Amino acid sequence: MRPTAFLDRDGTINVKAPEGDYVKSWDEFVFLPGAERAVRLLADAGWRVVVVTNQRGVALERMTIAEVDEIHRRMREAVPIDAVYVCPHERDACDCRKPGTGLFRQAMRDDPAIDPASSVVIGDAESDMLAGEAFGARAIRVGPPPLPSLLDAATRLVSSAG
């Protein structure tokens, strides 16, 4: 069975915009140090890599879903990501916004081989940890030291599986 790594985007894969702002275009998207290597490491080790991201800026009309899709298209050209799931809604408007599990359930509908018990959710926010727990997956919080980076987490996952 192929394990799945569900990765948050902003603050996990790329530099998060300042509070109250959003990454609105590819020009504003900057990979965090080691993030590209981390995604490749997971993919090369046989992990399914799925990005699950809240993008409230769409609901606030700071950017369009087409602009978000373009960021994801370019991101997927740069690193091997199997799928991207986006919640474009306002807070409390849906069940797909993390810490809800709607994005994870959508991924399972699209790929029934995804098993929560063999999955990990990696993110920088408490909402990522709560979503992972509610989904039944292991959750790993990343961020600036003393927290591990995405590369640290990926390296540990790959070495513990081998």
Q: Does the annotation mark 10 as catalytic?
A: yes
Residue of 8, 82, 124, 128 marked active site: 8
Which three-class secondary structure state does DSSP give residue 51? Answer: strand
d(CA 84, CA 8): 10
Q: Which residue has the tokens 């849906």?
A: 94
Distance from chain centroid for Cα 133: 15
Checking DSSP bridges between strand 48-54 and strand 119-123, what pairing results, if any? Answer: unpaired
Asked if 152 is an active-site residue, the reply is no
Q: Are strands 4-7 and 48-54 parallel, antiparallel or unpaired?
A: parallel
Contact 80, 49 (CB under 8 A): yes
Give the whole-angstrom CA distance, residue 73 versus residue 95.
25
* Residues labelled catalytic: 8, 10
